[in-house]
Every structure is written in structure tokens, then in C-alpha cells.
Amino acid sequence: MSWSKPAYLILLIAACITKAQAQPHTDAWLQQLLYAKASPAFRHILDHPEVYHVQIIYNRIDRDRKGKPAFTRYEYNVDPGRYFYPASTVKLPTAALALEKLDRLHSKGVDKETPMLTDSAHKGQSATRVDTSATNKLPSIGQYIKKVFLVSDNDAYSRLFEFVGQQTINERLQQMGYTDTHIPRRFFVMPDEDHRYTNPISFVKGNDTLYKQPMLYSTFKFDFTKDHRIPRKLVEANGAVKADTLNLATHNTFPLRDQQQVLQAILFPASVKKAQRFKLTDDDRAFLYRYMSMLPSQSVSPAYDARAYFDSYGKFFSYRAGKGSIPSYIHYYNKAGWAYNFLTDNAYIVDVKNNVDLMLAAVIDLNLDATAGDRYEKIGYPFFKELGDIIYQYELQRTRPYRPALTERRP
């Protein structure tokens, strides 16, 4: 087979473009900042992307005279083609979509505090009729969302997933343009097919049923052909370490770019395209703002043991390492996740004392040694602390056209 010279050149150019697009993206300015301020331990992580697979997105915010924000995004080693397990970060869009769906039920007298009773109708499902963390001891959408953000409660997320339904979650995300994000699973262990069936649910007021949702079955077509294999080191019963590969093709997928875009869409809806916005009322948005930034010690219902759920429990940047305390003038809106040795945080951080705000997201892979149970404490959380500190210190000293007074908890 022979090729003409123009045809050959076209194929060569196309191959080069494809190869270039497949490479991780790094902005030289952010790379320079990180290396200029890095400690030896932090530099070691940056120098070994084949080990830690770090991805970082820093969204610089500049405001005009009226306080309107403009965003400039910088990336380090961001690779949409490399899968990482998003863990609890998927709880953020699921909570927002639960509020979207709940708004459609207001005409039936249903709101965030209406008791929601979950039944079971398919194998693997479980019923929930009591929530001891609530003042009235009854479960509700509002209480589940509180627990999702305060302590990253997995059962609460699964109940929100069941209310919205697998099909609605994924259809809405696709409609909004988050085409690389897929959320096919609860956080209950069950066969893939069983996640398509979601429990019957009733909203009640006393003895009256305000709204009843039957068991739903999702026909959403997922693309499970992508390579989501991750090498892991597993400890066998005899203590030996065995190399293995986990195939997470049918698990949740939430790339870092989508994570930060979803957070921006919730906090700053006017800054994203209309199609990317969640259909939330002002009250819904204020509710999310409040519980994204509330610390466990500030919550009364639910109430938490500070020894297990200290204030920086889910706030990785700058504070989680060493169980650091968070100053009262720092408001930290985020959703972090940790599982399968991945640590991820996606945050909007506000300093109302120095009038600084920024967005920051990062993920690190800590699959180094399966016997090192404290790898999060020794490597992961210190990495997030130093990254948060580098960006925050840069924000404190950089020149801005305008430095508005950030006195509100809301963005």
C-alpha cells in the first residue's frame, strides 16, 4: 500500500495532535511556583509523577470594583485520561441533584426537613425509618446532606443516590456537560446491576404520606470499556504483600476538572455557562454553603465526638495534617474523598480577615506500600498541607486590581 505525500502528512499531523492531547497538562507558571517553594519532601512527590500521579488545579480569583469574580485556572500534571478513584467527592453533585429533585416536590408539601422513609424491594437493599442523629429521630434529605458534608457519611450519600436515582443523576450530569463524570454506584457493596434498582421511598407527615416514589430501574447506558485498572499492593492473611490490579471500570468516575467545575457552578453559578448550572433555589444554595463549610464541632444535630471527627477531619489543604485547627476567619467550602489509597480534595477557601479567596483541587495516589497504614498521615496529608500553604501564602502577597471586603460566609 502506498501513500501520497499530502495524505501521509495529514496522518502524521493527526497522530502528533492525538499524542499531544494525551499528555498531562501543566502550566509553567504554577510549576515554577510549586518548585520555588517546595520542601524536599514535597519536591520528591513532584519529581515522581509515575509514583504519586499528583494532579493539581488552582483557580485564581480576581474581583472587580463591585466584587464580581473572574477566574484564571492553572493546572499541574492534570491528566483526564488517567483514572483515579474519586471516593466521597461524588457526594457533592449528588447532594445538589437531590435538592434539585426535592424542589419539584414542594407542591406536594415536601421539603428538606420532611421525614423520608426508605423501604426495600430488591436484593441487597435495606430499609431506613429511623435516624438517631436527627432531633426528631427521623431521616430527611436535609439531615442526609448535613452528614455528607460534616463527616462524609457513606450511608447518607447512598440514601441520596437512591432518592435521585442512578438514571437521573447521570442524565443530568450529561446534560450539564460533565460528560466524563459517571456515578453508577451507591457506597453499598452489591453487584453492578443491583445499583440500577433504587429503593421505594415515602415522604410523610405524621400518619399521612405526602409523596411516594416506587422502586426505580435505570436504563442509563454507561461506557464501561475505558481502562480504569489501578495497580494495588494487597496484604494477604499471612502478612505477605501481593501485587494486584483492581479494575474499577464500573465504579464512579469524577475527573478533577469536572470536580472543580461542579464546585464553581454551585458557589458561583453566574460564572459558568447556563447549561452547567444546577437548578437550585437561593435557600438550597445557602443550605449547601452552610454545611459545606460547617465544622463538626459547630453542629448540634447531628452532634459528633470531637475525638473521632475533629474540625479539620475533612479539610485537607493546610489543616488536616496533625489535626490542625482552622482559624475562625477561614471559611472552607469543599468535598474531600479518600479510598483505595487515593486522597482528593476540591475546595473554595475564603480568608475574611485578609480578604483572600481561592479555589484549589488536588489528588494524590499513595499506593506505595500496603503495610504502611500511616501513609496518609506521613505523606498524603502533609502534601495537602504544604500545597495549601504555598498557594495561600502566594495569595496573601500577590497584587490585585481590587481587594474587596469578603465579610460574608457566602461567595
How high is the pLDDT of residue 72?
98
- Residues in Cβ contact with 251 at an 8 Å cutoff, skipping those fewer than 6 apart: 85, 184, 185, 228
Distance CA 89, CA 292 (A): 12
Binning pLDDT at 50, 70 and 90, where does residue 235 land?
Answer: low
Residue 43, pLDDT above cutoff 60: yes
How high is the pLDDT of residue 406?
83
Residue 4, pLDDT above cutoff 60: no
Q: Quote helix, strand, coil % in the chain, to nearest 5.
A: 40, 20, 40
Instruction: Write out the DSSP string of 202-262.
Output: EEEETTEEEEEE--EE--------S--EEEEEEE-TTS-EEEEEEE-TTS-B--HHHHHHH
The neighbour count for residue 23, using CB atoms within 10 Å, is 10
Among the listed residues 261, 58, 81, 94, the one whose alpha carbon sits nearest the alpha carbon of residue 169: 94
Range in 18-27, 62-71, 262-271 the model is least confident about: 18-27
How high is the pLDDT of residue 373?
61
Range in 121-130, 367-376, 377-386 the model is least confident about: 367-376
Binning pLDDT at 50, 70 and 90, where does residue 6 land?
Answer: very low
Write the DSSP symbol of residue 410. -
How high is the pLDDT of residue 19?
40
The 10s digit of each residue's pLDDT in 61-71 is 999 999 999 99
The 10s digit of each residue's pLDDT in 124-179 is 999 999 999 999 999 999 999 999 999 999 999 999 999 999 999 999 999 999 99
List residues bridging with 345 in a β-sheet.
336, 362
Binning pLDDT at 50, 70 and 90, where does residue 102 land?
Answer: very high
Evaluate whether 301 touches 147 at the Cβ level (below 8 Å): no
The 10s digit of each residue's pLDDT in 244-263 is 888 999 999 999 999 999 99
Distance CA 173, CA 97 (A): 9
Residue 79, pLDDT above cutoff 60: yes
Specify the pTM: 0.92
The 10s digit of each residue's pLDDT in 316-367 is 999 999 999 999 999 999 999 999 999 999 999 999 999 999 999 999 999 8
Residue 370, pLDDT above cutoff 70: no
366, amino acid identity: L
How high is the pLDDT of residue 408?
63
- pLDDT, the chain, mean: 92
